Every structure is written in structure tokens, then in C-alpha cells.
Amino acid sequence: MLTSDASEATVKGSVPADRAPRKKDEKLWFNDGTLIIVAQDTEFRVYKGQLERRSEVFKDMSSFPQPTADCADSPCPVVHVTDFAREWRHVLGLIFDPDDEQSPFPTARRPHPSFELISACVRLGHKYAMTSTYQAAMAYLKDHFTTSFSVFQKHGSWVPEGDDFGLVHTIGVVNLARLTGERTLLPMALLECCRKGADIVLGFTYSDGERETLVAEDVGLCFAAKDKLIAATILAYVNVFGPLPAGDCKLEDCRRALGLLSQSTSRKALSCPSPNPIISFNYTLPGATTPQLCEDCRTTIKERERRRQLANWKALPSMLGIDVPAW
């Protein structure tokens, strides 16, 4: 949920009389541009034909009669939108950047795209039928907030790399999933929201000062799911390092090592500050003289862990109280 009417953007056919003074965007104002887009208090002057090629909606909009008050003083047609100016700045920056225009994310120029950029591409791409823009951004999200456990393990992190796409932005990913109906994004995004604790209600702030939070229903889902996620995490700790079947290994070092690992993980399970039912464990104990598991026992424990991870991965939508048919 965005704390501004611009989150429910519609194209305006007229301009309120008490509008704020406008300013030209510093980079996206081309003196020979053929269309002016007004978002909040910012004007973008761009090339109509290039925008029409990217957006089915703008093919129709740019031919609509424009308000007389604007046209009288304007060198070209003016289109008013109630989206955030920052969103248009990101999307127009891509459209009118020849190096990145047709490339999926990440690009050479943007190896680690910010959440702001991805969100703008999804929101405006979805609303204005900018198919290539939307698909590139959504593919980037789906690669990270994936339905595949093996793909998740390959990434090795909860969110995409880069300083401008942090754990807090999973709140925004949940909202994008709700907006677009891309439900496969929800399990991993909601799981990370559940791991954040009570500050989940605070949301995060964009570069322009606008704040984004989860809607009340999704906050409720997170609080309701947390007990189930903690229980699954505790069981993962306990079951993975449970006793080996009788006769599997006779080595005293293995029995001692497994006992120490079990004690250590039990202490962690009891604290369980942040639920993670798909957790990966470390099987090596610290200390040069500390007993370690033999290779056969290590393989057995790894197989237990893998089974537990896959079972919990499959059960994530159920734990979170959501329906994801493609999961």
C-alpha cells in the first residue's frame, strides 16, 4: 500500500486549478520532444512515437484531445497522470536509454537494479500495457522470488544483490504480487516479511519520501503464520541432528560429534529469533581437537536436511495461509 493517491493512478483529462507549480525534469526534458507527461509536479518532455511503440495504452491516449488551458501555452500535447513522478523517471529513463531499452534485467549498465526501478517497471508496465518493460522486471523478480528450491539455493540470498534492493523491500514485492496477480512471488516474499518481526508494520520509504507498507490483511497473514513457521524451524533443527539409525556408524567420534551438534542446534532452536523452515546447517564443529562426523554420517545428515527442506518448501503456502496453485 502506497500512502498517496498516486498509487491508484488514472489518466486525468483536466488539471486542478490549485495545482502546485511544475518543474521540468532535469534529464528527461528533450527540447524537440513531441509529448509532455505531467506526473505530480514534474514535467517530462519526450518523443511520442517512441513511447507509443512501448505502450498500447499511450497509442490511444496521445491522440485524445488535450485540455485547452495546457495546450495554449504548450509546444506539444500534454498528458496528465497521477502516478508518482519517480516511477516515470525510472521508466522513461529506460525507454530513452538506447543501451538498456531492449535488454532484460540485469543489464550491463544496471547489474544490480534497485527495487525502485523494478517496482516502477512493474507498476507502470502493468497499468499502461508496456509489455516488454513489465516482462523484463517481472522475470527479474521471479528469478529471485522463485518457485524452485534449487534456484533459491543457487542465489544464496533472500533478495537480489545490490545495496538498493534490501530485505525490507520484500514488503514491496508482496504488494506487486497482489497488484499483478503474480502469486508465485508471494511465498518467499511473505516468508521474509514474517522473519522481520514487529517492525514489519513500519514499511519502507522511497527516495521521494513516500512510504510503502503491507495492507492490513497481509500484516495479519504474517502474524498468523509466524507460529507455524517457528514450529517448522524448530523441527528442522531437532530432526536433522537426531540419533542415527542403529548400526549406521560405530565410530565413537561420530556419536560424540552428533551429540554436540544436537546440543548446539537445540539451543539455537529454543531461541529461534527468526523463523527459517528451509534453513541449511553447518556440520563442522569448531576446534582442531573436536570430534567430527565421518563422511558417511555427514551424507546421512545432509540427506535428512534435504528431505526436510523440500518438505517445508512445498508446505510454505500452507504455512503462510495462501493459495499458490503453481507452487
Nearest alpha carbon to residue 240 among 297, 318, 296, 156 = 297
pLDDT at 237: 82
User: Do 196 and 240 sit in the same domain of this protein?
Assistant: no
User: Do 39 and 127 sit in the same domain of this protein?
Assistant: yes
Domain count, the chain: 2
Give domain status of residue 247, yes or no.
yes
Give domain status of residue 50, yes or no.
yes
Kindly state the average pLDDT of the residues 119-142. Answer: 95
pLDDT at 17: 37
pLDDT digits (tens, 9 = 90+) for 154-180: 998 899 988 899 999 999 999 999 999
Distance CA 44, CA 78 (A): 10
Query: Around Cβ 223, how many Cβ atoms within 10 Å?
Result: 12
pLDDT digits (tens, 9 = 90+) for 192-229: 999 887 888 999 999 999 999 999 999 999 999 999 99
pLDDT digits (tens, 9 = 90+) for 25-72: 999 999 999 999 999 999 999 999 999 998 988 887 655 545 545 555
Give domain status of residue 219, yes or no.
no
Residue type, 65: P
Give domain status of residue 222, yes or no.
no
Kindly state the average pLDDT of the residues 268-287. Answer: 78
pLDDT at 250: 72
Give domain status of residue 138, yes or no.
yes
CATH of the domain at 154: 3.30.710.10
pLDDT at 19: 56
Three cell numbers written together for 233: 524451524
pLDDT at 47: 94
Query: Around Cβ 83, how many Cβ atoms within 10 Å?
Result: 23
pLDDT at 98: 59
Distance CA 214, CA 217 (A): 8
Summary mean pLDDT of the chain: 84
Give domain status of residue 30, yes or no.
yes
Give domain status of residue 103, yes or no.
yes
Range of the domain at 93: 5-214
Q: For the packed helices 85-95 and 131-144, what is the interaxial angle rounded to 10 degrees?
A: 100
pLDDT digits (tens, 9 = 90+) for 230-239: 999 988 888 8
The pTM (predicted TM-score) of the whole model is: 0.85
